[in-house]
Chain A
Amino acid sequence: MSLAGLRQGKPEHAGHGEAGEQPHEVAADIHFAAPFSKENAGMDESVPGGAYNFAYLDEETKRMIRRAILKGIAIPGYQVPFASREMPMPYGWGTGGVQVSAACLTPDDSFKVIDQGADDTTNAVSIRKFFERTAGVETTERTAEATVIQTRHRIPETPLTEGQILVYQVPIPEPLRFLEPRETETRRMHALEDYGLMHVKLYEDIARHGEIATAYAYPVKVEGRYVMDPSPIPKFDNPKMEMAAIQLFGAGREQRIYAIPPYTRVVSLDFEDHPFVAGKAPHDCALCGASDTYLDEIITDDAGSRMYVCSDTDHCATRQEAAA
């Protein structure tokens, strides 16, 4: 948003500051106006990040995003366009998910970030730090304790419950994109439920590989209506999408938000004679022994030795603690 835009938002917040101020001063001005400033340690001016409004985005932007989220929840699986903001991180690093998280967070939330199931990867750590600093919310690595979980490429193994929000980072929200490059046409296809093309993709898979080789971003039909890209989660996670928590999807570069409300029917597309299988590596976790979790393959030496461990670090650690 431009400087002028920030100024327009001012009266609603507090109304001080003069014309001709430098951009950072305007931002500081907004910060004072934010309703959470007094209680929030993160907003302390002595801390660099404290110069931002709660959860980085200004209130108007968060409202706009919340409207898109509400619309998305009202029309499960439908891609709602939104005015994605420039975020202080590159596209592809979760700008969409971060904006959705920012619009959802309240000071009382407990925030968890996972990347490929792990809480300790660069991307997860950066985003967690980002919100620790700009929103001052509590963060956790425990799935069960988190109220908002931002994820890249996984759904936690621990079943989510009512009251939790799962925010997905989405690179390409359009499931029809690789077969139909025209956006005007794909939107029309969604509108008219013209989904033959989706099965053409699966047909091509079987023709080429003898089975449906799509292993991630496996297309689903939501509540019998919209075909949706579940973001690049492994197809192992697809059945989990019928859950008690709210699922929100944010695509920053593509400027789309979509959602699955709790307890919504989510069906993975397939053929009668090639039914959907939520496959995983045929091993147990080398660390916790779980046989029902999605595994990462880890090469352990130059001779090609390998081990399989849970990709969900929190789930694995919890099981190991319980066993100890």
Chain B
Amino acid sequence: MTPLLSVQGIRKTYGFRIGCTDVGFDLYPGEVMGIVGESGSGKSTLLSCLAGHLTPDQGSVVFDTRAEGPRDTVTMSEPERRMLGRTDWAFVHQNPRDGLRMSVSAGGNVGERLMAVGARHYGQIRETATDWLGRVEITEDRIDDRPRAFSGGMQQRLQIARNLVSGPRLVFMDEPTGGLDVSVQARLLDLLRGLVREMGLSALIVTHDLAVVRLLAHRLMVMKSGRVVETGLTDQVLDDPQHPYTQLLVSSVLQV
């Protein structure tokens, strides 16, 4: 089987400071991988490099494109990378304000990706948007409301609908449940799990919340000071951590 995403030797530095270095892994279709580590461990830098928001200094990010098979997205032209960004890739930001157009209605937010790839039938766009709002548990009567009238949890769900409407194959998530209260987090996690399974999505989830990865991620990558210190099955890494840092991380979590 061809990996959906094959990452090799990614390195990104900020002057003399290392953002992340020597990161490599394969992600297969349908797999959800969690990237954990403390603040400043390089996990967000890595995610930005993989999603094409930052250009890595070294390394390749090979994505199995629909049309042409495996392509290195680092050396791909910007129009091609942008096209991926609005079709096969999706990016869910921690802060919904970064991922939504706050002055555009919920329906317009969901419809944007469709229109970006050429949808020109208002009725169909609206129908699809309605369907997707339903899937993320936003009622149809809110379709013309702007996101600023929504709660934090609703905004995050809207962001997810906006991203998944184009039927992406790979979703990048940066702390998707950060900033939400616990009950809202649970609902979002449940929703994400269902969508991942139904759509056969692959996902990379950056988070510092080990409970989130235990519920969502199949695999785990633990980062410290810009380097990957441990990888493996999520429950294995959490229950039988091998690296000193992972042991510290796991033992630092408060038991509820």
Contact = CB atoms under 8 A, between A and B. Distances in A.
Tell me, yes or no, whether A and B come into direct contact in the complex with CB atoms closer than 8 A: yes
Contacts of A192: 78-79, 82
Given A179-B103, A196-B112, A196-B117, A203 B82 contact: no
Contacts of B126: 207
A225 to B, nearest CB: 13
B82 A179 contact: no
A89 to B, nearest CB: 33
B78 A200 contact: no
Contact of B115 (A196, A206, A270, A273): A196
B117 A200 contact: no
A179 B121 contact: no
Nearest to A193: B79
B120 interface: yes
B68 to A, nearest CB: 19
B120 A199 contact: yes
B14 interface: no
Interface string A273-295: 11000000000000000000000
A18 interface: no
Contact of B104 (A204, A271, A274): A204
Interface residues of B, number: 24
B56 interface: no
B108 A207 contact: yes
Nearest to A188: B78
A35 to B, nearest CB: 47
Contacts of B82: 192, 194
A108 interface: no
B113 A203 contact: no
A87 to B, nearest CB: 33
A179 B101 contact: yes
Contact of A203 (B78, B79, B86, B125): B125
Interface of B: 78-79, 82, 86, 101, 103-105, 107-108, 111-113, 115-117, 120-123, 125-126, 143-144
Given A195-B116, A196-B86, 5 more contacts: A192-B78, A196-B115, A199-B115, A204-B105, A271-B122
